[in-house]
Amino acid sequence: MNAPIDQRDARRIIVGPGFNISFTLKGQAFGEVAITNISTGGCYALIEQQEAGLFARGTLLEGLLLLHPDLPKTPIAAEVCYVLGCRPGAESELVGIGIHFLSMDDPSQKLLDSWVNVAMVRPDPPLGSLG
């Protein structure tokens, strides 16, 4: 049996405080959701465990915005591609969700591509502005 192939963008940038997203899911607004990494194709976000049931694989996230001054400001079409850390009796209050960017306008994609390329050559992880 073959192992599944990881098709995510290998150029993931580990990010720190100040990197957040917002979106709407089934009419519920989620704002200032922390992300821990980002790539040109998606990000990894942390949500409250009690909200994890809303985030099934394939769930569409409406109007996803990257809330960082150096990142694109236009809404991104996105979906949940996986959920980690959600099990009954778990001690952690946070659950990780993998988010896949389905589409964004060309200028936003170019800005994100450029930002990731710059972050890849920096010696330290981008904990704030790359400016």
Model pLDDT for residues 12-65, shown as the tens digit of each residue:
899 988 999 999 999 999 999 999 999 999 999 999 988 989 999 999 999 999
User: Which of these, 116, 52, 118, lies nearest to 80 by C-alpha position?
Assistant: 52
Domain assignment present for 3: no
Domain assignment present for 8: no
Range of the domain at 86: 13-121
Q: What is the CATH number of the domain that holds 108?
A: 2.40.10.220
**HSE on the CB side for 88, CA within 13 Å?**
0
Domain assignment present for 46: yes
Domain assignment present for 51: yes
Domain assignment present for 127: no
Domain assignment present for 83: yes
Domain assignment present for 4: no
Q: What's the chain's average pLDDT?
A: 86
**How far is 68 from 3, CA to CA, in rounded Å?**
36
β-strand partners of 76 = 64
Number of domains in the chain: 1
What phi and psi, each to the nearest 5 degrees, are found at residue 113?
A: -60, -45
A 10 A CB-CB count for 74 gives: 14
Domain assignment present for 17: yes
Q: What local confidence, expressed as pLDDT, does residue 6 receive?
A: 47
